[in-house]
A and B are shown apart, each in its own frame.
Chain A
Amino acid sequence: MREPLRITILRHAVLLAFVAISIYPVLNVVSISLRPGDRLRSTDLAIIPADWTLASYAALFTEQPFLRWLGNSLAVSAAVTVTGVALASTAGYAFSRFRFIGRRATMLAILTTQMFPATMLLLPLYVLIARLGLVDTWLGLMIFYTATALPFCVWQMKGFYDTIPASLEEAARIDGCTRGQAFWYVVLPLATPGLVITALFSFMTAWSEYIVAAQVMQREEMFTLPLGIKGFQASLSSQWGLYAAASILVSLPVVAVFLSLSRFLVNGLTVGSVKE
């Protein structure tokens, strides 16, 4: 279907304007990463400074254990993504399709876990981590990240299941599917965009978190990327070049994950599936 020209122009105008707004501050980060001498600020608008250098990027790989941090972060984030998607897709389904006792109360209770200011939880969280012997363990980090990501993911999955007509499942049940089979073969594929968002969100939660990580991980060889990067910051003498270069490199895997997942985000599957 072709659209009127003015609509097409409008679409591109809006998109172009926001692309410019989106990338300009990030170009500034790139600019910082190219400056020698750890200068956070510049007095002109040039993105590529006259004295640019790739020294910061080189130093990350040669002088800093950047690859080690990357590996740690990838492992933790992948584990959290898998657990997050598995737990949220099932729990969301229960909250969307079933009516059971304590359903609304539990949903609200899940939300309440997000309401306490995280900074106040720091002290008790450390006490908990220390008492459970979770200091310097991957398990500790994973549990905390999964628990942080889940409330949103459960609600999000529930919202997506809500948009899938129940008649599809009923049809599958009539054709002889069990409830589990209907969930696996009919509902889950239709909820793909929701699963993608859940996966992205879980990944990002684990990928960018550092407050809890700083409590759990006390050994440098177990640092995740955000912890490693925060180490470049010191009061009044930060290594801005390394800090900015690492931040740029950190975002590349996110972009890659988004790229690989986004085709599932845009292929509508319900098209033509039900006529009501």
Chain B
Amino acid sequence: MATAVLGLAGCGSRDTRTTVTIWHQSRPTERDFLVAEIERFEADHPGVRVRPLYKETEELRAGFQAAVLAGAGPELVYGPSDVLGTFHTMGIIQDLAPWISAEERDAFVEGAITSLPATDGSGRRAVVQIGDRFGNHLALVYNRRFVTTPPLTTDDLVRIARDNTVDGDGDGRPDRYGLVWNYTEPFFGIPFLTGFGGWVFQEPESEPPRPDLDTPAMAAALGFIRDLRERHQVTPANCDYELADSLFKTGRAAMIINGDWSWSDYLANPSIDAAVAVLPTVDATGLPMRPMVAPKGYSLNANASGDQADAAMAFVRYMTSDEVQRRLLQRLRMLPARRAAWDDPLVASDPTLAASRKQIENGRLMPVAAELRAVWDGMKPAYQAVLGGTLEPAAAAARMQRDTEGFIASMHQRVEPSPLVPVLGAGIGLALFVLLVRQWRSFVALATDLRRNPTPYAFAFPAVLVIFAVIVFPFVWNLVLSLSDMSLGRFRDWRVVGLQNYAEVLADRRLWGLSGVFLKTVLWTVINVALHVTLGVILAVALHGPVRCKAIYRLLLIIPWAVPAYITALTWRGMFDYEYGAVNLILGKWLGLPAVNWLGEPLRAFEACIITNVWLGFPFMMVIALGGLQGIPEELYEAARIDRASRWQQFWHITLPLLKPVLLPAATLGAIWTFNNLNVIWLVSNGGEPQDATHILVSYVYKSVFNLYRYGYGAALSTVMFLILLAFSMVFLQRTRATESVYR
């Protein structure tokens, strides 16, 4: 088999063409367009092959960073401009200025080409992206079956929304809402902020930009949003993107605020009659609600050079040619980046394009600075707290500012190498040496034993080799990283700085306090594993006996394990919805209990995560316990029955002790996996919502690494988590004697 595997590994195409790889985050219809254009391009350029690969937003970002760091990666990345500040600061994309002249730039609509101050401090501006279209802007979509003329002002908006919030069957729950949108993301709140005269950064924008969130405009905008829900009651109590989308698609919402990516779906949906309109003007200020607008375009990998870079840029030039731009406009109905196509008669004649163009002209360019990420993270908890009714708008605005400033500070934290680094190095070296000397005797003994008694080593070696071959390098890398200052500003040129990251981890009150992340993680782990094992054993015992339809039960019970968790976790999120979720409907209808705001309150959201994870994990333990029950000789039970032992006594004195050797490894590893389980928390609570209160350690690490780019800090925290788990396992295995056999 080994040769077959090697054969597979070696097979590659013998293509002499220059290959250009593009990672893109295009939506399905855009992908078809891209593929068709690539075919045309390749026909014109026989020496070049273009390979597109779709990557989801976060995956593209993280994957591209890793790939460039490894000296590889796609030649081109395609996507919205919001990641450019990060990529540019990290030094993983190139300056495109050599490929595009000043006259060529003039052919583009303003904002389509993104440039940033060069990182070399020369005062030049580096071209970091060449856009081929505009988009990502929000507008108002309304269902013409309910709304004849779209609102021009917010007063109109409220009036129309009130008229359209209808409770037809009188059960106290509206069958149709006037207005819906995604509450969970502050991005969707930006038009309200701009409408009340605010903006996310201080103006004129400084370098680096400073957040400007604690303003009367922010408080007024938050107050207005809250009034929509509490005073006018025209929006649902809880509403995330998917709920808003489904409500509008099924005619249960008259208006939705959503981005250009969603419009074609709405316009094509036969059960509604959708139309797009510009967002209204705020009456209190007379200002229009202005959404953020971003160009989408191509950036060049810092590692790309020579023929590949030229071929890649030839492709970019092709995609931004007038000919392709017109096709883009006609096929995708999206606004292109070049002036010539922008003024095409189609833009004026197509009502959606006309509204889209007007909304773009009315919008504000999305800042590309990396600090925007900190703004989103800083806004989110307070924004959600206002919607959850636990924070006043003015206080929320103050908190947003404070949190964002904190995030930006930690993003830009500069750690100077400690003078003790050589001492630290010497210490580590010495420790390794002492360890080696002290263990010398064991090594000698090992060598002798290996010669005299090779069988057990031969049995164990292959598995041990495979396991460690994969883990050793990443493990050591992480240890080194945890001593380094790797971060946004020092992504490729990081240095070892000492133990500062560890000091910061250990001093973090959010981690170790009484209501801190660590205790929550322990709670999370203990509850989950205890329930997994208990339910698994109960079900296995119930199945292990004279039961009819055993096979069917067994099959149905493993289903939570068989269906991919990434979809069932999302289903559970839907089931926990306040208004429409199955859990609340069942609680209300059958048990007469009041509805629980599962995803809106921190503790409830945490419980929701636990319930989901218990559901995901019990079948696995059941299978293990079923296997373990087979090994218990029936004679033991016969003997017990002769001794008149009750069923309970049999279970307690025979079943459990004999299940122990089989359950222990599963429980130990189950605890380790649960401790480090990111997926469920991330999917069910949507990344720690509400108010960042459902985090466990691993999601906290994830957030600080992937949102704030604190690689060194994340590695240090991971190492601490590793040590916690190591200590736990050692104690647990010692006390349960899991490495020893029951019969000895």
Q: Which residues of A contact B (CB under 8 A)?
A: 1-3, 7-8, 10-12, 14-15, 18-19, 21-26, 28-29, 32, 37-45, 51, 79, 82, 87-88, 90-91, 93-98, 100-104, 106-131, 134-140, 142-144, 146-148, 150-152, 154-156, 158-160, 162-166, 179, 190, 193-194, 196-197, 200, 204, 208, 214-215, 218-220, 226, 229-231, 233-237, 239, 243-244, 247-248, 250-251, 254-255, 258-259, 262, 265-275
Do A29 and B571 touch across chains, with their CB atoms under 8 A apart?
A: yes
Bound-state Cα–Cα, A251 to B455, Å: 40
What are 12 contact pairs spanning A and B, CB under 8 A?
A: A19-B556, A42-B580, A100-B449, A104-B739, A115-B676, A116-B718, A119-B702, A128-B470, A158-B665, A193-B628, A237-B261, A247-B564
Residues B300-358 near A (CB distance < 8 A): none
**Please, which residues of chain A bring their CB within 8 A of the CB of B669?**
111, 114, 151-152, 155
Q: Are A137 and B456 in contact (CB under 8 A)?
A: no
| B467 contacts A151, C-beta separation under 8 Å | yes
**Known contacts A18-B539, A28-B575, A248-B563; A108/B730 CB under 8 A:** yes
Among A18, A111, A214, point to the contact of B672 (Cβ < 8 A).
A111
Contacts of A259 in B (CB 8 A): 555
Name the distance in Å between A17's Cβ and chain B's nearest Cβ.
10
Q: Interface residue count for B (Cβ, 8 Å)?
A: 152
Tell whether A162 pairs with B271 under 8 Å between CB atoms, given A45-B585, A111-B729, A156-B624: no
Contact of A166 with B474 in the complex, beta carbons under 8 Å: no
In the assembled complex, the Cα of A91 lies from the Cα of B457 at a distance in Å of 9
For the complex, what is the distance from the CA of A138 to the CA of B623, rounded to whole Å?
A: 29
Which of A25, A130, A142 has a CB less than 8 Å from the CB of B72? A130
Pick the residue among A108, A115, A135 that contacts B722 (CB under 8 A).
Answer: A115
Contact flag A39-B250 (CB < 8 Å), given A11-B545, A119-B701, A251-B564: yes
Q: How far is the CB of B567 from chain A (nearest CB, A)?
A: 4
B-chain residues with CB within 8 Å of residue A230 when the two chains form the complex: 56, 59, 566
Q: With the chains together, A120 CA to B474 CA distance in Å?
A: 9
Q: CB distance A41 to B568 under 8 Å?
A: no
B418 at the interface (CB under 8 A from A): no
Q: At the interface with chain A, which of B240-248, B290-298, B362-370, B523-531? A: B240-248
Q: Which of B604-662 contact A (CB under 8 A)?
A: 615, 618-619, 623-624, 626-635, 647, 658, 661-662
Contact A270–B631 (Cβ < 8 Å): yes
If A39-B245, A248-B563 touch, whether A123 touches B66 (CB-CB below 8 Å) is yes
User: Which A residue's beta carbon lies closest to that of B719?
Assistant: A116
Given the interface pairs A28-B571, A43-B250, A226-B564, the reply to whether A193 lies near B726 with Cβ below 8 Å is no
- Contacting B543 at CB < 8 Å: which of A15, A87, A115, A136? A15
Q: Within 8 Å CB of A129, what residues of B?
A: 70
Q: Are B478 and A121 neighbours in the complex by a CB distance under 8 Å?
A: yes
CB-CB under 8 A for A267 and B466, given A112-B726, A262-B554: no
Give chain B nearest CB distance to A18 CB in angstroms: 6
- Asked if B668 is at the interface (CB within 8 A of a chain A CB), the reply is yes
Give the top 6 A-B pairs by smallest Cβ distance, nearest first: A98-B456, A193-B627, A155-B665, A94-B459, A91-B463, A124-B477
The answer to whether B69 and A127 touch across the interface, beta carbons within 8 angstroms, is yes
Chain B residue numbers with a CB within 8 Å of A100 are 449, 453, 456-457
Closest beta carbon of chain B to A70's beta carbon, Å: 14
B445 sits at the interface (CB 8 A): yes
Residue of A nearest to B626 (CB): A265
A118 with B676, Cβ < 8 A, contacts A2-B546, A41-B246, A147-B470 known: yes
B288 at the interface (CB under 8 A from A): no
Contact between A234 and B467, CB atoms less than 8 A apart: no
Q: Indicate if the CB atoms of A32 and B571 lie closer than 8 Å.
A: yes
Residues of B455-469 contacting chain A, CB below 8 A: 455-457, 459-460, 462-464, 466-469
Most chain A CB within a 10 A radius of its CB, from B69, B554, B624: B624
A40 lies within 8 A of B27 (CB): no
Determine the chain A residues whose CB is within 8 A of the CB of B242 once the complex forms: 40-41
Against A, the Cβ 8 Å flags (1 = close, 0 = not) of B38-78 are: 00000000000001011111110011011101111010000
Contact at A159–B661, with CB atoms within 8 Å?
Answer: yes
Which of B4-12, B195-203, B207-215, B504-512 contacts its partner?
A: B4-12
Q: Is B496 an interface residue (CB 8 A)?
A: no
Binary interface profile of B, 1-23, with partner A (CB < 8 Å = 1, else 0)? 10001101100100000000100
Are B705 and A120 in contact, with the CB atoms below 8 A?
Answer: yes
Indicate if B107 sits at the interface (CB-CB under 8 A): no
Does B564 contact A208, Cβ atoms closer than 8 Å?
yes
A24-B582 in contact (CB<8A): yes
Q: How far is the CA of A74 from the CA of B33 in the complex (A)?
A: 31
Contact A14 B72 (CB under 8 A): no
Asked whether B721 is an interface residue with its Cβ less than 8 Å from the other chain, the reply is yes
Q: From residue A48, how far is it (CB to closest CB) to chain B in Å?
A: 15
Query: In whole angstroms, how far apart are the Cα atoms of A143 and B661 in the complex?
Result: 28
Instruction: Tell which of B457, B545, B633, B662 touches A274, judged by Cβ atoms closer than 8 Å.
Output: B633
Instruction: Give me 12 other A-B pairs in contact (C-beta within 8 A), A18-B539, A119-B705, A138-B9 excluded.
Output: A18-B557, A26-B559, A40-B246, A42-B246, A90-B462, A96-B741, A128-B473, A138-B8, A143-B466, A152-B669, A235-B56, A268-B631
> In angstroms, how far is the closest chain A Cβ from the Cβ of B174?
11
Contact A265 to B635, CB < 8 A, known contacts A40-B242, A236-B262: no
Residue among A113, A127, A274 making CB contact with B467, cutoff 8 Å: A113
**Chain A, Cβ-Cβ closest to B624:** A197
Asked if A215 and B466 sit within 8 Å, CB to CB, the answer is no
Task: Give the most central of A24, A44, A162, A233: most B CB within 10 Å.
Answer: A162
Q: State whether A120 and B714 are in contact (beta carbons under 8 Å apart), knowing that A90-B460, A106-B464, A165-B743 are contacts in the complex.
A: yes
Q: By the criterion CB–CB under 8 Å, are A91 and B462 in contact?
A: yes
Pair A45/B459 contact, Cβ less than 8 Å: no
Docked CA distance A139–B591 (Å): 54
Q: Chain A nearest CB: distance from B332 CB in Å?
A: 13
The answer on a CB contact under 8 Å between B8 and A126 is no
Instruction: Decide if A162 touches B460 in the complex (CB within 8 Å).
Output: no
CB distance from B238 to the nearest CB of A (A): 11
> Is there an interface contact between A120 and B582, defined as CB atoms closer than 8 Å?
no
Q: Are A251 and B562 in contact (CB under 8 A)?
A: yes
Verify if B572 is at the interface (C-beta below 8 Å from A). Answer: yes
Q: Are A237 and B539 interface neighbours, CB within 8 A? A: no
Q: Which residues of B contact A106 (CB under 8 A)?
A: 460, 464
The answer to the question of B577 belonging to the interface, with a C-beta cut-off of 8 Å to chain A, is: yes
Distance of A231 Cα from B26 Cα, bound (Å): 11
Q: Chain B nearest CB: distance from A45 CB in Å?
A: 6
Is B204 engaged at the interface, CB distance under 8 Å to the other chain? no
Q: In the bound complex, do residue A124 and residue B478 qualify as a contact, i.e. CB atoms below 8 Å apart? A: yes
B385 lies within 8 A of chain A by Cβ: no
A20 vs chain B, min Cβ distance (A): 9
The residue of chain A having its C-beta at the shortest distance from the C-beta of B475 within the complex is: A116
B435 at interface (Cβ–Cβ under 8 A)? no
- B551 CB–A CB distance under 8 Å: yes
Question: Residue of A at shortest CB range from B564?
Answer: A247
Interface status of B446 (Cβ within 8 A of chain A)? yes
Q: How far is the CA of A82 from the CA of B733 in the complex (A)?
A: 29
Among A19, A131, A136, chain B packs the most CB atoms within 10 A around the CB of A19
Give the residue name and chain of the B residue nearest to A1 (CB).
B546
**A103 cross-chain contacts in B, Cβ below 8 A:** 456, 739
Which of chain A's residues have a CB closer than 8 A to the CB of B565?
208
Which residues of chain A come closer than 8 Å to B63, judged between CB atoms?
126, 214-215
Q: Which residue of A lies closest to B474 (CB)?
A: A124
User: Is the CB of B596 closer than 8 A to any CB of chain A?
Assistant: no
Residues of B within 8 A of A193 (CB): 626-628, 630-631
Which residues of B71-119 are within 8 A (CB) of A? 71-72, 74
Q: Is the CB of B701 within 8 A of A3?
A: no
B664 in contact (CB, < 8 A): yes
Q: List the B side residues contacting A40 at CB < 8 Å.
A: 242, 245-246, 570, 574
Q: Name the B residues within 8 Å of A25 (CB-CB).
A: 560, 568, 571-572, 575, 615
Question: How many Å lie between the Cα of A146 and that of B466 in the bound state?
Answer: 8
Which B residues from 113 to 162 make CB contacts under 8 A with A?
none
The proximity string for B residues 702-744 relative to A, scoring 1 for CB distances below 8 Å and 0 otherwise, is: 1001100001001100100110011001100100001101110
